[in-house]
Amino acid sequence: MKLEDFANELVADNNFIKMCFGGFAGSGKSRTATEILVGLYKKMKYNKPVLFIDNEKGSRFLIPFFKKANIPVLVKETTKLQDVIESFEFLEKGELSAVFIDSLTKVWYRYVNEYKEKNRRVFMTLQDWGKILPAWQEAFANPFVECKGTILFTGRGGYTYDVEENDETKKKEFIKSGIKMKMAGETPFEPDVNIWMEYC
């Protein structure tokens, strides 16, 4: 087999970007994402509406940014994963210029809660996580990566914990060891650009 039959030249086949903005409440995720989205809209010469998937009740505060830039915005208030996936379909069909999900964490929480209700779980076991994480990968992460369109999402911040032995009591204790986005597995790392927001 010849090399030219095996591989193709590396080229961008479309005009889009995927970005996520993580951080604790009040760190400026939504506003920063909006300002970047306004810049992308102009830079990439978009002309279709932006769809704002809002479950943080914050879209009304961002109206002035979009109005000032003359960007048409539609809003869908939802935490349903199916609505998010349908938005990707509208995006790929060219009916939207971009999708902005604020926040994806609430969509993830609903997904987990629906699993718990369906399987009559009060607490999640390792076996449950072993099922739900691959299912989320299939249901959200794969369509997100495969969608040819600009998508931005925010995600709430959380802490990671390690177990350490207390030198005085000799008991094992959980200690905060870092920060992360409250989201399934690799989801925060699927976008092209990941931004972590912190208080100034």
Specify if 155 maps to a domain. Answer: yes
Question: What pLDDT was estimated at residue 126?
Answer: 87
Q: Which domain covers residue 55, as residue numbers?
A: 14-197
Please check whether residue 4 lies inside any domain of the structure. no
Quick check: is 174 in a domain?
yes
**pLDDT in the model for residue 90:** 97
Does residue 2 lie within any of the structural domains?
Answer: no
pTM of this structure: 0.84
Cis status, amide bond into 103, omega within 30 of 0:
yes
What pLDDT is recorded for position 155? 86
List, for residues 58-109, the tens digit of each pLDDT value. Answer: 778 889 999 999 999 999 999 999 999 999 999 999 999 999 999 899 999 9
**pLDDT for 174:** 63
173 found inside a domain = yes
pLDDT at 14: 72
| Number of domains forming the structure of the chain | 1
In a domain, 3, yes or no: no
How confident is the prediction for the chain on average, in pLDDT? 87
Position 161 in a domain:
yes
Q: What is the pLDDT of residues 132-166, one digit of tens each?
A: 999 999 999 999 999 999 999 998 776 665 667 77
pLDDT at 180: 61
Residue 74 belongs to some domain of the structure:
yes
Give residue 13's pLDDT.
67
Q: Say which CATH number the domain at 97 has.
A: 3.40.50.300
